[in-house]
Chain A
């Protein structure tokens, strides 16, 4: 693993950077409870559509403070969403600050936050129409979006490998039947299939149920294309001379499959995995955007964007509402670059 990272850094620096961006995003998601200054559903009614809080080191008299601070914001014009910055009061930002008690990882209680203010509010990405801190919601939303990507892909790939591998290795009638089934799955346009499958279930499921449903739907759509490609690779690798040589040595079949055939599909499959994850993230985002996915008050990057649809008022006065879109973009592009770099690194000719 360390080897792969090292090679990635040398051969494709963007890839290397992308890897760490992805790691950072997942860490933010995992530790959302701790990092987010506010709970995702806490509404600050005095601060609807508040712009991102600026962080200062110099006050209006140009005095330097070692500890960063923010100013208080006051809503002066609700119609136009205008806020006034009160530059009289210095509200320092504290780290490991005490705040409201809440559960971390759903296991234990804590009242410590990574950062926060004792007076004033720190909305790094501003607030939404209900006065909820967007930064905190992005962190919690990351949990949904990023986890669905990984879990969905894992299931798809497991299915794809298993079915594609069996089909490719045994060939003949088995192969024929399995491939026809795969083709039936691939026939449906994935987007519409996704919508139909979701619509087949009641709209008002609990969020956890919806989450599982989305994962299952996405995996069911995704495995077929993979199975077909894995099957093709297995078919050709099976005839390679080094596989025949192993057979001649008397190596049992399953050992040949695991030692020779499957690793030689990695160059394609690992890159395909990293390049598919964005698809799953987008799938969830789209469902949530259309109101069929994760429901309020639970945040997902998709449903955070759904408010912006067709809403000119928000778009013109509160552009920070689009930040979840940026995160979707960042995640997808990082996975793309990572996949690119991995494809290079996993080629044994480059070892």
Chain B
């Protein structure tokens, strides 16, 4: 299996507080993960576990403090932004809050067009095509985000992520803010797109039921560390770490 991502000893710390009293918060302690091409890798944890931070650090939207990140064997940890930019189209991200992940001043079609290359006409055509793929009709191309429902906005965000033809998408709790009935639609969409475009996902969530349904392998995070990692069913049936046990018991 081709290794898409390899992360070694990744660390990330935050400082909070005033000039007089600073506190260090360790978001990522020492992360070692490999993600294979074609899989859905679930990252499970509660708030403060560092899972969202990991998603952003992996694709270098936030800079790591220490450690190495390899994308397809290329060390991108310290790659200057100018060069990294060329790689960025291969890995995209979808965020949790569909109300905040779209610029409220930009029409939905333009938001999807942003990452597409070509002349204006080509861009518009491609944007309409992708929006269609995710279920947004072309009549709504010029609408503003606030004219869409939460589920529709999430679809637009997915369309934007697809616009650069990526092979990997970080999905940061993409359905947590959606109603149950809409959640199912979006999850189905994720599966369809994965099959159609041979995508690999890092699926970050705190919802055990979703991760059991979607992910091939999962990693359980607790306070910045990975406490358990392995095939989904094995972990659900035979959790080895006490935190994993506690987590599974709480899933009603």
Contact = CB atoms under 8 A, between A and B. Distances in A.
**A–B contact at 8 Å CB threshold (below):** yes
Interface stretch (B24-32, B81-89, B187-195): B81-89
Nearest to B145: A348
Interface stretch (A84-92, A244-252, A320-328): A244-252
B124 to A, nearest CB: 17
Report the contact-size class of chain A (Cβ under 8 Å from the partner): 20 to 34
Contacts of B106: 259-260
Interface string A248-263: 1111110000011001
Nearest to B90: A250
Interface stretch (B40-48, B91-99, B220-228, B231-239): B91-99
Contacts of B114: 246, 249, 251
A29 B160 CA distance: 50
Report the contact-size class of chain B (Cβ under 8 Å from the partner): 20 to 34
Contacts of A245: 93, 95, 101, 157, 160-161
Interface of B: 56, 59, 61, 81, 85-86, 88-89, 91-93, 95, 97, 100-106, 111, 114-115, 144-146, 157, 160-161, 163-164
Interface of A: 240-253, 259-260, 263-264, 348-349, 351
Given A244-B61, A351-B144, A249 B89 contact: yes
Given A249-B114, A249-B163, A241 B146 contact: no
B130 to A, nearest CB: 13
Nearest to B110: A259
Given A244-B93, A251-B114, A264-B104, 4 more contacts: A241-B95, A244-B95, A246-B114, A348-B146
A253 B82 CA distance: 10
B3 to A, nearest CB: 21
Q: Give 4 nearest A-B pairs by CB, closest first.
A: A249-B115, A250-B88, A241-B101, A348-B104
Contacts of B146: 348-349, 351
A348 B101 contact: no
A253 B84 CA distance: 13
